[in-house]
Amino acid sequence: MSKGKLLAVSIVWLLILAAGVTVWKVVFAPAVEVSLEEQKRIEAEKARAERDNQLRRGGTDSRYRTQVNLALDGFSGYAVFRSPEFADELSKQGIKLQLSDDGADYSARLEALRSGKVDMAVMTIDALVATSADAGDLPATIVAIVDETVGADAIVTYRDTYPNVDSLNRTDTRFVLTPDSPSETLARVVISRFQLSELEKDPFIKVADAAEVMQKYKQAKPGDPLAYVVWQPFIAKMLQNDRMHVVVDSSRFPSAIVDVLVVSDDFIAKNRDTVAQVVKAYLKANYAYRDDAQRIELVVKDAAATGTKLTQAEATQLVEGVWWKNTQENLAHVGQRGGSHLPHIEDMISGVTSVLVETGSIAADPTMGHPNYLYNDSILKELADFHPGEQPEEVRGTSMPALTDEQWGSLVQIGTARAPTLVFARGTASLTERSRVLLDELAGTLQATRYYVIVRGNASRRGNLEANQKLAEDRAKEVEQYLVSQGVDRDRIRAIGVEPSGSTSVSFVLGELPY
């Protein structure tokens, strides 16, 4: 064979060899690698199954299909969440409950929701709004209303130093309270609702907790200009001193301090059915404690378990000061029960947000005027036909009884409502358009206040005093009629004219029946 032919044959064989190597790498080698990986996977699964069998040693699958991490704190109003009934109801649905007590650190609670460390939480509407404003984000949404305090928070003072709310209107008054708590919210609501223009911009002495508020009270003298803002059972402990009294409590401000069940936006997007099961389980557990005697017993046991002992009397006062919302009341708060006087959750959020902005607690509304961003009512609406037990539940009312003339005359004046200066057409009782706009805002405020309202008309002293007093009364009646037309209950408002003092204003005095 010539050298040329030999070279050609060699080249051909080299090309064949190269092609073979390429085919091996492209076709056969990956298949072998996949086969080896598949073999490793099968072997790993067998090993894992063998370990599981060894661990189970004759056991079975877990009763739980999922776990829900719920954040809260030791407040006795949350006792139902710690009750065996709640855990049992969840376990029936294959849900394991994990409670996390963060010591009422609401900022940490919101961050835990945002980061996924917890799935759901209980917090007040004001805390949700405030922490969302601080975080610059809305990572959680309300899915149910838990309770409303109706006396469980109060401002307590020495009777001689501060006989009523108006007497708080001093530059040296200081409110001793726990910051970022429902008690701080109560103080801010009072400041926003009453004419307390003499108060300093920041009239708060902030301490660690209610126990420290109690310590400040014990160290103070009766004449010190201090108002103590606390919750039960500390209210009852202070009132053991006959010289102390409640100036105002949360029962006077419907929907101001409301606990809600919230869920992270991520969790509800991925686990909506689980969230619905949690809401139903809570409503069933709450139904189990619908009788006060059962509720008091639960609170006593719960307080002992959380390290706070309550006497039967203290537990009774706490239960009287908290309105746990049942299924029908939850439905009413999302507009699913016609004829109810309970406010819509959207209006509740708006009202609390306004107070926080107005009193400087937050710089701006975190929802930018869209309170609906903070609640999801779809789950409650799906429960329109849900009944947690055999006995029917009712929507409890918030109306105030009508008074006789004698009772109107005996009202105890609590304070003067913070109200705009109204303008009337000169020498008449006719409201200007600007005054009507101002009264629209005042009507909303009065509806969110559980006091009787005396509208006091005034007039100039120049000219005929008798005619001026008649004009003062006519102006008060004109305002009364307009407020009633805007939704204020006619049974809790009355117009009177006072002896002309030179002012042409109308004032609003809030009062209550004597004990």
How far is Cα 44 from Cα 346, in angstroms, rounded to an integer? Answer: 54
Q: Is the pLDDT of residue 14 over 70?
A: no
Give the C-alpha separation, 473 to 477, whole Å: 6
Average pLDDT of the chain to the nearest whole number: 90
CB burial readout 242-263, b (16+ within 10 A) else e? eebbebbbbbbbbbbbbbbbbb
> What pLDDT, on a 0 to 100 scale, did the predictor assign at position 439?
94
Phi-psi bin for 39: left (phi > 0), alpha (psi -120 to 50), beta? alpha
Class (C level, CATH) for 66-148+257-382: alpha beta
SS3 helix, strand, coil % of the chain, rounded to 5? 45, 20, 35
- Percent above pLDDT 70 for the chain: 89
Evaluate if residue 31 carries a pLDDT over 80: no
Q: Using alpha carbons, select from 65, 69, 97 the residue that is nearest to residue 264.
A: 69
Q: What is the pLDDT of residue 390?
A: 94
Q: What is the pLDDT of residues 235-276, one digit of tens each?
A: 999 999 999 999 999 999 999 999 999 999 999 999 999 999
pLDDT at 15 over 70: no
Q: Which CATH class is domain 405-512?
A: alpha beta
Mean pLDDT of 197-208: 96
Residues 105-129 have pLDDT tens digits of 999 999 999 999 999 999 999 999 9
- CA–CA gap between residue 89 and residue 69 (Å, rounded): 15
Cβ 264 vs Cβ 116: under 8 Å: yes
The whole-number pLDDT of residue 427 equals 80
Longest dimension (CA), the chain: 145
Alpha-carbon distance of 184 to 180, in angstroms, equals 6
Q: Where are the domains of the chain?
A: 1-60, 66-148+257-382, 153-252, 405-512
Average confidence (pLDDT) over 48-59:
60
- Check if the beta carbon of residue 285 is closer than 8 Å to that of residue 86: yes
pLDDT tens digits, one per residue of 77-100:
999 999 999 999 999 999 999 999
Per residue in 305-330, is it b (16+ CB within 10 Å) or e — as a string?
Answer: ebeeebeeebbbbbbbbbbbbbbbbb
User: Does position 302 have pLDDT exceeding 80, yes or no?
Assistant: yes
Amino acid code (one letter) for 9: V
Digit-coded pLDDT (tens) for 322-349:
999 999 999 999 999 987 889 999 999 9
Give SS3 for 416.
Answer: strand
Query: Is the fold of 153-252 the same as that of 405-512?
Result: no
The CATH architecture that domain 153-252 belongs to is: 3-Layer(aba) Sandwich (3.40)
In 167-318, DSSP assigns E strands to 174-177, 204-206, 226-231, 244-249, 258-264
Q: Which of 144, 367, 143 is nearest to 267 (CA)?
A: 143
pLDDT, tens only, 149-180 = 999 999 999 999 999 999 999 999 999 999 99
Q: Is the pLDDT of residue 4 over 70?
A: no
CA 184 – CA 124 distance, rounded (Å):
12
Distance CA 198, CA 171 (A): 5
Say what the pLDDT of residue 99 is: 97
- Looking at residue 196, what is its pLDDT? 97
